[in-house]
Amino acid sequence: MAARNIGSVNSPHQSSGEPLLVVTNLVQEFSVPKRGSLRNATVSAVADVSFVVDRGETLAIVGETGSGKTSLARTLLGAPPPKKGGITIDGHDVTKRNRATRKAQSRLVQMIFQDPSSALDPTWSVQRIVSEPLQKLGLSRQERDDRVADTLRRVGLNPERHSRRRPSELSGGQQQRVAIARALVGRPALTVLDEPVTALDAATQSQVVELLAELKNEFGLTYLLIAHDLAVVQQLADRVATMYLGKICEEASVATLFSTPAHPYTAALLSAIPSFTPDERPRLRLLGEPPSPIDPPTGCRFRTRCAFAQEVCATVEPRLREVAPGQNVACHFPLGADGTPSTTVPAPESLGTVA
């Protein structure tokens, strides 16, 4: 986790209260070779995940490498489609892989990737890269050119100077601006930002975060932000969901999650950054090593790394439940405002599946 402060671009909460992305009981699994066996093993990358993102809102998904956040993002784009569960974007069921869905998909969701140099075709000009998503919209050549020039200007590039260049003739920050222009030129309903500034230097990161915030406010965009950098999350997101081994373990507004995290995993992530943990709250450490996603722990998946694990945590999976207005936590012994477990007996509402 990075601890830098890259400047404040916080904006008022823009959520409309109108669901745009609805994810229901989503499951994504992958087959991987199993050491010492001819059979493949199954990795449960996304395990029964449900959440909603309102129109105009930014939801950040945070977690360590291997938490399932990138698998979740790619599943939303249909690459690959989910094993089980539902995804609707702007009322369209995008799990249906028919022609109509594939055609609508690029207008429903676009993704901005971590590394623009590998996401942009090196042989194409900026003009061709940015105009490509417009090909299927039935616009005239002039309309497409005008839309591309407007969008390039809006992301801080000069159409006259930059549109004929190839990606290799641009800086990293300019390349990411081209990637943002390409993602937004078709006005998608949802934009997935996959670690959008991780590959950039610190000064450029700050500019790109500011640009993303401005574009969101100006066009009422809806973002799903995949990030491990909590400074970026704090500046761009309205709400945050923490993921661990394919499960959402906490979900709350940015203000609540950063001030009073109730799940020990969220508290441990924040504890790694001294400025994010008030002096009066104890700093939590992650115990041991991350378990294998091929064979996750029984009961609570976080129990092998949790300082507060008790017997019940090994046998009963905790359910996601509301512990404060808008704050949902999957833990039998959620943390109170002082950062210690607020209860010594599991609440009946937390008792989910028995292992």
Give the range of 36-44, 115-123, 223-231, 305-313 binding ligand SF4 by CB under 6 A.
305-313
Residues 224-253 that bind ligand SF4 (CB under 6 A): none
Angle between helices 172-184 and 202-219 (to 10 degrees): 20
According to DSSP, residue 319 is labeled: P
Which residue, 124 or 308, is less far from ligand SF4 as judged by CB? 308
**How many chain residues bind ligand SF4 (CB under 6 A)?**
12
Give the range of 101-109, 206-214, 273-281, 328-336 binding ligand SF4 by CB under 6 A.
328-336
Two structure tokens written together for 82: 């989910």
Reference 200, options 210, 191, 214; nearest CA is 210
Give the range of 119-127, 234-242, 276-284, 299-307 binding ligand SF4 by CB under 6 A.
299-307
* 189 near ligand SF4 (CB under 6 A): no
Which residue, 149 or 270, is less far from ligand SF4 as judged by CB? 270
Which residue, 286 or 300, is less far from ligand SF4 as judged by CB? 300
Residues 23-62: x where in contact with ligand SF4 by CB under 6 A, - otherwise, as a string: ----------------------------------------
| List of residues 6+ apart from 135 with CB closer than 8 A | none
Two structure tokens written together for 275: 């400025």
Give the range of 24-32, 37-45, 267-275, 296-304 binding ligand SF4 by CB under 6 A.
296-304
Dist. CA 313–CA 232, nearest whole Å: 32
Rounded to a whole number of angstroms, the minimum distance from the CB of residue 331 to ligand SF4 is 3
| List of residues 6+ apart from 179 with CB closer than 8 A | 112, 113, 116, 119, 120
Give the range of 12-20, 87-95, 217-225, 327-335 binding ligand SF4 by CB under 6 A.
327-335
Which residue, 196 or 264, is less far from ligand SF4 as judged by CB? 264
* 318 near ligand SF4 (CB under 6 A): yes
282-297 burial string, b = 16+ CB within 10 Å, else e? eebebeeeebebeebb
For residue 317, which amino acid is it?
E
Rounded to a whole number of angstroms, the minimum distance from the CB of residue 227 to ligand SF4 is 22
For residue 14, which amino acid is it?
Q
Give the range of 23-31, 106-114, 159-167, 301-309 binding ligand SF4 by CB under 6 A.
301-309
> How many residues are recorded in the chain?
355
Which residue, 26 or 300, is less far from ligand SF4 as judged by CB? 300
CA distances from 300 to 25, 212, 313, 329, 331 (A): 18, 36, 5, 12, 8
* 113 near ligand SF4 (CB under 6 A): no
Dist. CA 174–CA 114, nearest whole Å: 14
* 300 near ligand SF4 (CB under 6 A): yes
* 302 near ligand SF4 (CB under 6 A): yes
One of 313, 327, 328, 339 touching ligand SF4 (CB under 6 A):
313
Rounded to 5 degrees, what are φ and ψ at 8?
-90, 130
Rounded to a whole number of angstroms, the minimum distance from the CB of residue 294 to ligand SF4 is 20
Dist. CA 281–CA 339, nearest whole Å: 5
Dist. CA 209–CA 240, nearest whole Å: 17
Two structure tokens written together for 299: 């009961």
Residues that bind ligand SF4 (CB under 6 A): 264, 300, 302-303, 306, 308-309, 313, 318, 331-333
